Amino acid sequence: MKYYIGIDLGGTNIVAAVVDENYNIVTKSSTKTNRPRPAEAIADDMAAMAIKAVEDAGLTMEQIEWVGVGTPGIANSETGIVEFSGNLGFENTPLADYIRKHIDKPVYVENDANAAAYGEYLAGAAKGAKNAVCITLGTGVGGGIIIDGKIYAGSNFGGAEIGHMVIDMDGPQCTCGRKGCFEVYSSATGLIRMTKEKMEQVPDSKMHAITEERNGKVSARTAFDAMRQGDTAAKEVVDFYIKALAAGITNTINIFQPDILCIGGGVCNEGDPLLLPMKAIVEQENFTRNSPKNAKIVIAELGNDAGLIGAAFLGAARA
């Protein structure tokens, strides 16, 4: 049996896993990222978690083939340098070299959304596809693209930024500097913003009572839960969210025509109230709607494990 280390570096947590050749996670180890702090200190903890995961698995480092890392930002997969990551404060950070100071193995570095898409392609919802796109609806909108079984990152390693296609030129400001990005509307952050705006407009909406029951916190679930209680204002929020999501997904399908497009993130837990109307819009609007080989839209299966599994097999992706 062959074993690999996958590390998922996030803004909140560092998670390392030992993954076997059948894509099974053997052990995990995690710690807080504790940003902001020097990149090398973060890399020290990444290596420590990897070593701990190997020990917890009852293995030795000699049994590990390589280390793969999924990180936010622009990750140069050829050099192992994170050229830029605003969330982590990385700029031309030699992340692979930092980790190799502690672990004498090949270290591969890739954007975290690309790693997660590769994980879904290998062992999850996109398994068996030749071409796949994975979209994650979280704090932002992350994208990962697989073409002919390989990660597509563009000539400058900054490809697949699906969240930053504009769907409304006069829309709200995005953190990237543009206005009306897909991310502004379809991320969990965007859904929360739109929910709060509607609550301000409609003081008697059931969204207020739901928020009070949850210690005053508006979440991505608030509008959906109020809609299920028959709240008209909440339904307006949900309908607009679904329309924006469908627009971004239709654009993505029109550009890439993947076999499978999988979407992930907590909002996908809403199930049919989200998926059925969204799919109906996409089926009506996508350019190849009359084709018998239209992209299949599915929910991501691996959750947070997608990035770990994808990262663990980056060495194979580079082969």
pLDDT, position 290: 76
State mean pLDDT over 98-102.
97
Domain 3-121+304-318 has CATH 3.30.420.40: yes
CATH topology of domain 127-299: Nucleotidyltransferase; domain 5 (3.30.420)
Please state the rounded mean pLDDT for residues 39-49.
Answer: 97
Proportion of the chain above pLDDT 70, given as a percent: 100
Strand partners, 83: none
Name the segment(s) of the chain with CATH classification 3.30.420.40. 3-121+304-318, 127-299
Once rounded to an integer, what is the mean pLDDT over residues 288-299? 85
Show Cβ contacts of residue 117 under 8 Å, excluding neighbours closer than 6 positions: 126, 132, 133, 134, 143, 144, 145, 146, 151, 160, 306, 310
* pLDDT top residue among 290 and 85: 85
Angle at 131 between CA 308 and CA 277, to 5 degrees: 90
Residue 319 reports pLDDT greater than 70: no
| Mean predicted confidence (pLDDT) in 95-113 | 96
The larger pLDDT score, comparing residue 12 to residue 3, is at 3
CA 58 to the chain's CA centroid? 31
pLDDT digits (tens, 9 = 90+) for 202-228: 999 999 999 999 999 999 999 999 999
> Tens of pLDDT along 108-118?
999 999 999 99
Residue 187: C-alpha distances to residues 10, 12, 141, 295 (Å) = 17, 18, 5, 22
Q: Read off the pLDDT of residues 161-179 as tens digits, 9 standing for 90 and up.
A: 999 999 999 999 998 899 9
What is the structure's pLDDT at 110? 96
Supply the mean pLDDT for the chain: 94
Flag whether pLDDT at 286 surpasses 80. Answer: yes
pLDDT at site 299: 93
**What average pLDDT does the segment 8-16 reach?**
93
